[in-house]
Structure 1
Amino acid sequence: MTDVRLRHGRASLALSFLAQGATFALLVTRIPAIQDRYGISDALLPAFLAAVPVLAGAGSVVAEKVVARVPPAVVLRWSQPVVLLALLGVGAGDALWQIAVALGVFGLAVGGLDASMNMLGVSLQRAYGRSIMLGFHAAYSLGGIAGASLAWGGAHWELSLLVSYLPVVAVLLPAALVASRWYVHGHAGQPTASGGGGGGRDSGSGSGSGETGASVPFRLLLPLCLVMSFAYIGDSTVSNWSAKYLQDVLGGSEELATVPYNAYMVTTLLGRAVGDLGVRRFGPVAVVRAGSVLAGAGFAVVALAPGAWTGIVGFTMLGLGLCVIVPQTFAAAGRRAFEAHGPAAGDAAVARLNIFNYVGFLIGSPLVGALGDAWSYRGAMLVPMVMVLVTLGYARSFATGPARYGGGHERPRTVDVG
């Protein structure tokens, strides 16, 4: 596999991450408008919101089985358009059953999409021989900021959901389909492209390797599954409670209450944009430890903040700390399973780990809300702090050894132009 094909594969996958970040942001930031359009009651809304990650977890399980027969690139190529069309369906309907179907399709497809994207990212990182996973997740963060900005514009100009979503889907859908021609799936430095016939895989990852992937013992992934859940509990705490916390607990204005999440998103993007350099220089264990300590300190600042601006500083620290953990967890899971059980096991491990993304999302917001109501919201912020700090005890699970990335197609000091 030439360097050019690897760079094309890397760029096309980054576009997929960016498109998914924008798509998801457009959905979650317009939830009030969706609720109004379909007449969803406050009592029914949590069920709709919980259904998406539950079905996404199911989609990730299905993706694990499917990639035993077809390449992850094929799963990604077709799941991304389904996600985009499901988003369009959310904006086009007007009956309750229609939004239920649209969100159901969105959830199932997004599980396969998230799993296959990260499978390709982990395998490309192995082919490159150096850390590049954080860059893909930086593209996701950039897409999320773009999507949230477009959603703000749609709400500001009082555009209908369909009018807000249609131009975005019209741009991203053909772009994703065209870019999918250059997806690359690498195993042990021998990537295979999904373009052309769309079904080619190397000899170690054909349909017969599915049993190898299924044999990955859960104990191999358990520490990383816990880390993934804790990271997303922290992330969902910020996304769901930062505005309310700043306004109700720290006395900030309604306008100022919008700042913490924006600051969190921007610092997440910045941290991921430079994070790969830190991994290459200091190693994943040191980077994950530093991120965990910074995130724990951020939650402590938020819990003890005397005023709104100090709270914003804490949420900013959280963005810089949490942003490195999830990409490195995917990378570590794929690497550990690959080394222990072979190529298909690496894909299966990523799919299984992806489920705990949704587990953390489902647990985080209700947990903080229940603790806040029963105890105090300041005290509730200490719970995700402890969970994030527990990651320090699992930091060794991120360790790499000599030549563990394989590949070796480029010199260690090659300038990163891909």
Structure 2
Amino acid sequence: MTAPRGPGSQARYGRVALALSFFVQGTVFALLVTRIPAIQDRYGISDAVLPAFLAAVPVLAGVGSVLTEQLVRRVRPSRVLRGVQPVVCLALLAAGVAGSMAQAAVALAVFGLAVGALDAAMNMLGVSLQRAYGRSIMLGFHAAYSLGGIAGASLAWAGAHWQLSLAVLYGPVVAVLVPVAVVAGRWFVDGPTAVATEQGGTGAASGGAAAASMRLLLPLCLVMACAYIGDSTVSNWSAKYLQDVLGSSEQLATVPYNVYMITTLLGRAVGDLGVRRFGAVAVVRAGAVVAAGGFAVVAAAPGAWAGMAGFTLLGLGLCVIVPQTFAAAGRLAYERDGAGAADGAIARLNIFNYVGFLVGSPLVGALGDAWSYRGAMLVPMLLVLVTLVCARAFGPSGARYGDVHERPRTADVG
């Protein structure tokens, strides 16, 4: 077997540029979600209306992802990402400086639509770059997103601590991030799909092939939704659970989400090495078991510190599942229908990101009120274990990455 050639300088620059894009998006999204109470206070949004505002963002993001599937049949994913990332940043600023609730609603609607397109396009480029590299690099991109999330949450904490207005907080950050996004966008690298599109090809699978591809993707769609149910449980309920159920102080209750984000970053930073050594299937299975163990520890925790240990396990377990699900979707579609189908598969899969986000928080809240919050934590635990049933969709059990384990004429992206 001939050893595969390493990626060229263009792909390496593209990798760095895309990592910057993931970082920018992580920062912006964290700045929005961590300052929701300040947005609510600024525009006088009642507690009854707030859930509609919050639900509208992921719903519109799903619409944006669907539209992106159609758009990338005509233009390169890099152009989509290059165009929408500054829009996302400016929409964040608009949500903080709008003059009325109606204007803020419009800004959040634009944010939602643009985020859906951005998430889909970023992961399309990540999967195509991984195919070019011939080894796992997808977790590294999502590690950059986690790092951006930590940076954004830290900036939000500083803004709250110093009682800065949203305009004062968001303005300088956006003034820095927009130029970073624009400069990074000059170095984005598209995969084979873009070549087919530029040469006048369809750039996408036919209707019948797309339907077949969707049936193939169903296990991965289920995994994606379950993973985000787990993620939204941590982001929305960890503080309340620690304080109300485990009796922690208000200050200590803010720690679990930060710990979760840090362990997510650490797990993703080293996760690609694990995939290259043991294969995607083994890593995803291990992640599902660790995440389920984390939920079990949280549900049974006798006190706050044991609960934080559970949330630490959750970060280490869940962090590998989402990036590998995107990678596996791209690989399956590519192997079945060619390069043109991979981008569409990723856009369709991305919708289930928002499905899980929408379902997770209300599900745990309803079960907690009707039953108990300890019992409610067992539901995302069981849902995460669905990944074990669907693990074969992530590729052959013996799949490996790197020069030693490459398979001939196979596009390894997951």
Question: Are 2:21 and 1:16 equivalent residues in the alignment?
Answer: yes
Letter in 1 for 2:233: T
Decide whether the 8 Å contact of 1:213 with 1:344 is kept in 2: no
For 1:159, what is the secondary structure of its paired residue? coil
Offset, 1:205: 6.7
TM-score (norm 2): 0.93
Unpaired runs of at least 5, structure 2: 1-5, 406-414
Question: Are 2:216 and 1:223 equivalent residues in the alignment?
Answer: no
Question: Are 2:294 and 1:301 equivalent residues in the alignment?
Answer: no
Decide whether the 8 Å contact of 2:75 with 2:197 is kept in 1: no
Q: Which residue among 248, 251, 254 is the counterpart of 1:252?
A: 248
The residue aligned with 2:201 is 208
Q: Aligned partners of 2:197, 2:44: CA distance in 1, in Å?
A: 51
Shift of the 103–39 alpha-carbon distance from structure 1 to 2, 3 Å rule, reads same
Letter in 2 for 1:53: P
What is the RMSD of the two structures over their aligned residues, measured on CA atoms?
1.8
Q: Which residue among 31, 35, 38 is the counterpart of 1:30?
A: 35
Q: Aligned partners of 1:55, 1:270: CA distance in 2, in Å?
A: 31
Decide whether the 8 Å contact of 1:69 with 1:206 is kept in 2: no
Shift of the 136–309 alpha-carbon distance from structure 1 to 2, 3 Å rule, reads same
Shift of the 411–382 alpha-carbon distance from structure 1 to 2, 3 Å rule, reads closer
Letter in 1 for 2:205: T
Q: Aligned partners of 2:304, 2:190: CA distance in 1, in Å?
A: 46
Note the 1:51-90 alignment, pairs <5 A.
51-90=56-95
Decide whether the 8 Å contact of 2:279 with 2:398 is kept in 1: no
Note the 1:101-116 alignment, pairs <5 A.
101-116=106-121
Q: Aligned partners of 2:254, 2:55: CA distance in 1, in Å?
A: 24
The residue aligned with 2:3 is none
Q: Aligned partners of 1:167, 1:282: CA distance in 2, in Å?
A: 43
In the comparison of the two structures, how many residue pairs are matched?
A: 398
Letter in 2 for 1:322: L
Offset, 1:221: 0.5
Shift of the 207–357 alpha-carbon distance from structure 1 to 2, 3 Å rule, reads farther
Shift of the 404–112 alpha-carbon distance from structure 1 to 2, 3 Å rule, reads farther
The residue aligned with 1:47 is 52
Decide whether the 8 Å contact of 1:237 with 1:368 is kept in 2: yes
The residue aligned with 1:144 is 149
For 1:173, what is the secondary structure of its paired residue? helix
Letter in 1 for 2:289: V
Q: Aligned partners of 1:184, 1:18: CA distance in 2, in Å?
A: 17
The residue aligned with 1:198 is none
Q: Aligned partners of 2:376, 2:141: CA distance in 1, in Å?
A: 32
Unpaired runs of at least 5, structure 1: 192-200, 414-418
Shift of the 314–154 alpha-carbon distance from structure 1 to 2, 3 Å rule, reads same
Letter in 1 for 2:181: A
Q: Aligned partners of 1:207, 1:67: CA distance in 2, in Å?
A: 13
Note the 1:14-413 alignment, pairs <5 A.
14-187=19-192, 201-203=194-196, 206-212=199-205, 214=207, 215-216=209-210, 217=212, 218-400=214-396, 411-412=403-404
Q: Aligned partners of 1:124, 1:209: CA distance in 2, in Å?
A: 21
Greater mean alpha carbon deviation, residues 215-224 or residues 346-355:
215-224
Q: Aligned partners of 2:400, 2:241: CA distance in 1, in Å?
A: 43
Shift of the 40–10 alpha-carbon distance from structure 1 to 2, 3 Å rule, reads same
Decide whether the 8 Å contact of 2:227 with 2:384 is kept in 1: yes
Greater mean alpha carbon deviation, residues 239-248 or residues 393-402:
393-402
Letter in 2 for 1:291: G
